[in-house]
Structure 1
Amino acid sequence: MLHLSQLLLALFILNSALTFQNRWPTVGVRWVPELSIELALLLLVLVLIAAWRGAPGRRLRCAVLVGYVILTLGRYLDVTAPALMGRSINLYWDSPHLPQVAALFLDQVAGWQVLLGGLALLALLTALVLVLRWALSTVIEALDHTPVRRALGVLALILLVPYGAGWLIPRLPVGHGFALPVTAMLAEQVKRVLAATVFRDHGRIAGQPPLPVSDLSRLGKGDVWVIFFESQGALVFDDPRFAIPLADDFATLERSLLAAGWQIASARVESSTFGGSSWLAHSSLLSGLRIADQDDYHDLLTSNRATLVSRFAAAGYRTVALMPGLRYAWPEGQFYRFDRIVDAERLEYHGPAYGGWVIPDQYSLYRLHQTEVTPTGRSPLLVFFPTINSHAPFAPLPPYHPDWSHVAAVSDATLSSGAVELSGRLDGEELAAAYVRSIRYNLAVLGGYLRQHAPANALLLVLGDHQPPAIVGGRDISWQVPVHVFSRDPAIISAFQAAGFQVGITPGSTALGGIEELGPLLLRTLDRPSATHAADAATSQPNGIHQK
C-alpha cells in the first residue's frame, strides 16, 4: 500500500537530484530549496501516459531511469565544472583532456588510495542509480491511484504554467524559485558540437590583419625571453588571500632587481582562457589573435599566419621553445617554426620527479642558459618558456637552489614538499596554500636568474597564462593576468610606459586589453623610434609561414 510519506520522499529525492549546487571549494554538493522544471514536466508526461494507457511498462521505466541518471550526472557537471575551473564545461573539446587532468591529480597518490577512491566512486554511482530507481518506481506506482494521479497532474501544471509565464515575460518573478534546467546545458553541448563541426567558420583566421613588421632596433640585438608563469593570475595582486602572503616576495624581488640594475614595468591583460588550456593563451600572444577555444586553435594551426616567432626570425633572431612539460609530439612546433624545441627529453633531466611534470623549472632554465645563452658568437635569442611547476595541483614542489651550479646535481633527498593526499588535492583551501608556495617558487627562480645569469642587454616579458582554477581562487573573478617587463635599458622601460605599463612590479588596476594585443604591442614598442615603416610593411608583406 502506498504511503503519502513515501511519495513525498520520492518527489523530494527526484527534485533534489536536479537542483543541488556545488559545495565550494570542494567537489561535493549541497541541497538548495529550488524546484526542478524537468521533474514537473516528467510528472505531467507520466500522468498523461497513465491516464491514456495505464501505468508505464518495464521498457519505459528503464528509459525514464536512464534519462534521469543522465540528467543528474549532467547537473553535477553543470554545477561542479564552473566551480572547479571557473568556466562551463565544453564536452566536445574538454573530454580528450580529462585523462591528463586526472593523471596530474593522481600523480604520486598511493595506489591503495586510488583503488579506494575508485571503489567509493563506483559505490556512489550504484547507490545513486538504486535510489533514483526506487523514487521513480514509487511515483509510477502512485499513478495507479486515480486521486493521486490527478493530484500529481495538478501539481505539475501548477509548476509549469507560472514557469512558462516567467519565461515568456522575464519581468515576472515566478522563475526565481526554479533551478536552471539541465536540458538547457545538454542542448548547449549539442550546439557547441555542431558549431565545432558542421557550422565551423574556417575563414575567420585568414581574414584577420597580420602582425606588424618590426626591425626590433630598440633591443640592440639583445635576447628576448617570453616566460609564461603557469596559473599566475591577477589574483596574486587582487585577492587578499594571495596578495597578503605574497606581498613580501614581490617587494623583495623588486628591491633586489633594482639593486642589480634591472628596471621593471608592469601591466595586466585579459587572458583568452581561465583555469586551464594554457595553449590558448600562448597562441593568442604569439599570433596576435584571440584564440579562445579549440576551434580557433585548430584553425590557427592550419593557417599560414605569421607569428611573433617568424617576425623575430626575420629580424635575425634564433628562436627557441623551452618546453619542459612536452613529452609527446607537438604539431604546433611545425606551425610556429621555432629553430629549436627543447622538450623534456632534450633537457636530459635525471633527478627526482616533481609531480606529473617531473622537471624543476629552475633546472630547465639553467640547462637552456648553458646550451643557448653562454656560447659565444651566437645570434640573438627569442626564448619562449611556459613554466610547469605552478600547475595544479601545485605540489610536490622542487626546492629553489640559490647556487645555480648545484641545480643539476639533485638527489632524491631534495624532494622537499612531498606528495599531497588525494583528499588534499580535491580541497580548495589546501590547493590555495600550495598555490601560494608555487608562486613563491616562480619568483625565486626569476629573481635568481636575472641577478646571476641573464645577459645585461636581455629583455624579459613575464606574464601569467590564466587565473588558477576556480577551486583555488573562485569562480566570479576576472580573467586578468599580470605582465611584467624586465630590462636594464631605461629607454625600453620608458617605451613600455608610453604603451600603458607602469613602473614597478605591481600592475595598474585596469587591463590594457586582451592578451592577444601583447604581441603586436611588443613588436611596435621595440621597433626603431618614430618609425613608420612597420605599418606600411605589414600591408605589403605576404602573410607569413605556410603550414603543410
Structure 2
Amino acid sequence: MASVAVTVLAFALVVSALLLPNKSEQFKAAMFTRIPVEGLLGAAVLIALPRRARPWVAAVAGLGLGVLTVLNLMDVGFNEYLGRSFNVILDWQLLDDAQSYLADTLGGTTALLAAVGVVALVAALLAAMVWAALRVGGLVGRHPARSTRALLLLSAVWMTCSTLDVQFSGIPVASQHAYTMVRYREEAVRNTIRDERAFAKEAKADAFGATPPAQLVPDLRGKDMIFTFIESYGRSAVEDPVMAPGVDRTLDASTQALAKAGFHAKSGWLTSATYGGNSWLGHSTFLSGLWIDNQNRYRTVTSGDHLPLTKVFQKTGAWDTVGVMPGVQKGWPEQKYYGLDKLYDAFDLGYRGPKFSWSTMPDQYALEAFQRLEHGRKRDKPLMSEIILTSSHQPWAPIPKLVGWDELGDGRIFGPIQKAGNDPRDIVTDSQRSKEEYGKTIQYSVTSLTQWLTRYGTDDTVLVFLGDHQPIARVSGNHASRDVPVAIVAKDPKVLEKIAGWKWSDGLRPAHDAPVWKMDAFRDRFLTAYGSTPHPSNG
C-alpha cells in the first residue's frame, strides 16, 4: 500500500511540474486537472527505450522538469513584485539585491536563513523531480503492456479534448503548457541577445549629443534646478480608492501651500520603464531619454556617451552639479555618467538616527542635509541637483513622522519615532495594510519635499519631481498601469509658460485624463521646451 502511495506521489509531482503556472493568479484547481501532452510523449519514449538507457533518460528528464519548476516559481515571484517574468540571462544579480532588502527589512539573520532556505528548496525540488521521473520510468519499464494501453487511452482522450476544445472552468483540458513555457523562455533568451545588440546601436545616436554648451537649456540659465525622484510614487497612489483619498488631500494641500509661497505647478503622467522595483531603470530612462527596462540596457547606457539630463547642466559649465542619494551605500561609478560634480551617499549626510527598514534616513532629514551642505551655501554658479528620496520604499514600515525643521539635528530625534512604528513583518504579509501604509509614506515624502521648497526655495528655484515606478502588485494591483505622476514647480511664471503646450494639469495632482508620455520622451521634450538646439551625434 505504501508503495502505491509513493508511486502516486511521483506521478503527481511529474504532472504538477508539467502544468505549473508562472503567475500567482493562475493557481486554480482547473490548471492541475489537465492532461499534459509532454507527459504522454515522455511516457512513450520511456516505454520504447532499452532497460539500461531508461534510468539515465528519466533522470535527465526529471532534472529538466526540476529546472522548469524552479523557473516557473521564480516567475511567480518576479511577476508579483516586478510585474514581469524572470529573465534567465539578466536577473541573477537581482537575487543579491533581494537578500540585501530582506536584511534591511527583517534583519540579517532572517535574510541569511531565507537564503539558505531558498537554496535548500531548490536542491530539494531538483532531487524530488529526478526521483519522481525515475520512479515513473521504472514503473512503465516493469509493465510495458499495461503502460502502453494506458498511454493509448490517455492519448485518445487528449486528442479528442484538443479537437473539440474541451474546457474545465474555462481552461483547456488538453495541455501543452510545458512546451509553451520552454518555447517562451527560448524566445526570451534570443530576444535578450538581439535587444542587446540593437540597443547598443540605438544608444550611440543622440539628438542633443553634439549640441554646443551655449545652446543647451538657455532658457533656464540662472535657475537652481532640482530633479527629485520619490520612491514608488505611482499612479495608484493618486487613484486607488484605498490610498488616493489621503494622497490627494496631501497633493491639494501642498499645491495651496506652494501657491501661498508664490510657487505654481504643472503635472502630468509618465509611463515608467520598470514596475515594483529596480528604481535605477526608471531614473536612467527619465534622464537619458532612452528606454532602459533591463540591466543590460542600463550597463550599456551608463558606460556610454549618451547625454543624460543631469549632465546637460554640467556640460554647459554654467551650473555646479550635485547628487543626494541616501539609498546609495556602496561605490557608485555611475556618478561620472550622470555628470555629478559631488555625490552625497548614505554616509555623507551626517545622519546619526535609526534606519527605517530599507530607507537609511527620513526624507525630511535628507532634504535638510542637502540645504545645509549645498543648497544653502553661497556660490558663484546656480546649482543643479539630483535627489532620490527613499522613505516611501517598501515595506512601508516603520514610517517617519515630520518634526520641526529646526529640531532635526543629526537625526537622533527619529529614534523614538522609529521604535514606535509598525514592525515591517506585520505589513509585508497584509495587502490591505500595505496599501494603507504605502499611502502614508507617499504623503510623508510629498509633504517633506514641498515643505522644504516653501521654506528654502527662491525666485530662481525650479523643482521637477516624479515617481520612479508603481509599487508592487500587492499594492497597485495585478493589472495596474506603469504610470507615475510628474510635476514641475517654479515661482518664475516664464518657466511654466514654456510648457503650456504640454497640456499638463494645474497643481501637483495630475487629472485622470492628463497627457501620458513614455518616460523616455521627457528628456527631449524638456530640452526643447527650454530652448536647446538639437545637434545629433551618432556615437
User: 2:251 aligns to what SS in structure 1?
Assistant: helix
Q: Distance in 2 between matches of 1:490 and 1:120?
A: 58
Contact 1:55 1:140 in 2 (8 A): no
Secondary structure of 1:267's counterpart equals strand
1:143-191 Cα deviation digits (max 9, x unpaired):
1224431234225634765798799xxxxx9688664633234324532
Cα contact 2:459–2:492 (8 A) shared by 1? no
Distance 2:116 2:74 in 1: 20
Query: Structure 1 residue 380: deviation in Å?
Result: 0.7
CA, structure 1 residues 57+435, in 2 after alignment: closer, same or farther (shift >3 Å)? Answer: same
Partner of 1:368: 370
AA of the residue aligned to 2:394: A
> Are the structure 2 counterparts of residues 208 and 37 from structure 1 closer, same or farther at C-alpha, using a change threshold of 3 Å?
farther
Change (3 A) 1:308 1:130: closer
* Percent identical residues: 24
Q: What's the CA shift for 1:101?
A: 1.9
Q: How do 1:51-450 and structure 2 match up within 5 A?
A: 51-54=48-51, 57-109=54-106, 113=110, 128=125, 132=129, 135-143=132-140, 144-155=142-153, 157-158=155-156, 161=159, 179=177, 181-192=180-191, 194-195=193-194, 199=197, 202-210=200-208, 214=215, 216-219=217-220, 221-313=222-314, 314=316, 316-411=318-413, 412-416=415-419, 418=421, 420-422=423-425, 424-450=427-453
RMSD of the TM alignment (CA)? 3.5
The verdict on how the C-alpha distance between 1:102 and 1:52 changes in structure 2, with shifts beyond 3 A counting, is: closer
Q: 1:232 to 1:404 in 2, by over 3 A?
A: farther
Structure-1 separation of matches of 2:160 and 2:198: 38
Name the CA distance, whole Å, in 1 between partners of 2:144 and 2:405: 83
Partner of 2:479: 476
Deviation of 1:128 (Å): 4.6
With normalisation by structure 2, the TM-score equals 0.85
AA partner of residue 146 (structure 2): V
Distance of 1:137 and 1:178 partners within structure 2: 22
Decide whether the 8 Å contact of 1:267 with 1:501 is kept in 2: yes
- What per-residue deviation string (whole Å, max 9, x for no partner) do you get for residues 188-227 of structure 1? 4532564477x56532211342267755454461211110
Q: Distance in 2 between matches of 1:306 and 1:72?
A: 42
Cα distance in 1 between the residues matched to 2:471 and 2:295:
19
CA deviations over 1:227-278 (Å, ceiling 9, x no partner): 0111111111232222133232222222222222221111011112222222
Structure 1 portions without partners, runs of 5+: 168-172, 528-533
Secondary structure of 2:460 counterpart: coil
User: Matched residues in 2 for 1:118 and 1:215: separation?
Assistant: 49
In structure 1, C-alpha distance between the alignment counterparts of 2:199 and 2:270, rounded to whole Å: 27
Q: Aligned residue for 1:170?
A: none
Query: Helix, strand or coil: the match of 2:384?
Result: strand
- Partners of 2:339 and 2:2 in 1: CA distance: 72
- Residue 493 (1) aligns with residue 496 (2): yes
Question: Once the 2 structures are TM-superposed, how far is the Cα of residue 340 of structure 1 from its aligned partner?
Answer: 1.4
5+ residue gaps in structure 2? 166-170
Q: Give the drift of 1:321.
A: 1.2
1:374 is displaced (CA, Å) by: 1.6
- Deviates further, 203-212 or 79-88: 203-212
The question of whether the paired residues in 2 share the 8 Å contact of 1:271 and 1:514 is answered with yes
**Does residue 1:507 correspond to 2:505, yes or no?**
no
